Amino acid sequence: MPPLFRYCGDDETLDVVFPDWSFWGWPEINIKPWDALQKDLDIGNKRVKWVDREPYAYWKGNPDVATKRKELDWIKESKAGYKQSDLASQCTHRYKIYIEGSAWSVSEKYILACNSMTLVVTPKYYDFFSRVLMPTQHYWPVRDDNKCSSIKHAVDWGNSNKKKAQKIGKQASNFIQQELSMDYIYDYMFHLLTEYAKLLRFKPTKPPEAIEICPELLACQAIGRERKFMEDSMVKSANDAGPCDLPPPFSPEEFKELQQRKEKSMKQVETWQQKASQT
């Protein structure tokens, strides 16, 4: 059985992670294609300085995976066109919470891009870029078995160590802005499919009934915001430069060292929390 390309993976499967649909826009809830939204988030970050933001942790999510959040009138919001879901206007708190739902959440990149210190509740899944993120460098780890206490400690620590907390938020935002451009995303897709093709032991053939579909034909079938997002995210011309060079894979030693660094940082946070709970 060939590997499966999935939006997320975990340590129990061998799925190959692939960029999800939201990079090309999510018209159903009025989230722009990533190229435009990335610029909006960069501008939105500058509206409220980190020190002037609300000194609390903030989370906003989907009621389908968090049914207890009844304070939002989602029916009214959907009829209004999700005007309140402007992600670039939600960077107003010093801390933002990332927590998985049924699987990983596409909100991860939006939260990390906010300049706020991201509080990541221990995830089970990873997407194509998140495994390189380091605790206490790009985010603050939160224990899944003790969420409320861990979140409170993170907020208390951040408000007592403002420069360090602000630095963590800024490093995450810089990563999203610099390393997650659409050019690099297309580079990743190119290299992934190229390397996968090298593993094939047969030559693919085009089925007799297959027809070529051009982007314009796909857009013609769409209407409203869906069509606009298709047109906005369509690549208009080829890049002058070729794709980035594929870096060499981690050696077993390098991968082990990376995991050990993560574990050390997470244990350090747990130690801080235990000491704080005893005072």
The domain locations on the chain are 5-182
- What's the rounded mean pLDDT across residues 52-78? 64
Give pLDDT tens digits for 195-250. 999 998 888 899 999 988 887 788 888 899 999 999 899 888 877 888 999 888 88
| pLDDT bucket at 69, cuts 50 / 70 / 90 | very low
Q: What is the reported pLDDT for 139?
A: 98
Axis-axis angle for helices 252-277, 147-160 (nearest 10): 90
- Look up the pTM and report it: 0.87
CATH topology of domain 5-182: Rossmann fold (3.40.50)
Close Cβ partners of 107 (under 8 Å, ≥ 6 residues apart): 61, 98
Query: Quick check: 196 and 16 in contact, CB under 8 A?
Result: yes
Give the mean model confidence (pLDDT) for residues 263-267. Answer: 95
The answer to whether residue 74 scores a pLDDT higher than 70 is: no
Q: Decide which of 191 and 1 is more confident.
A: 191
Alpha-carbon span 222 to 187, nearest angstrom: 27
Long-range contacts, 60-64 (Cβ 8 Å, 24+): 60/90, 61/99, 61/101, 61/105, 61/107, 62/101, 64/101
Q: What is the 3-state secondary structure (H, E, C) of 78-102?
A: HHCCCHHHCHHHCCCEEEEEECCCC
- Please give the C-alpha separations between residue 243 and each of 83, 132, 169, 239, in angstroms, as whole numbers: 37, 20, 29, 9
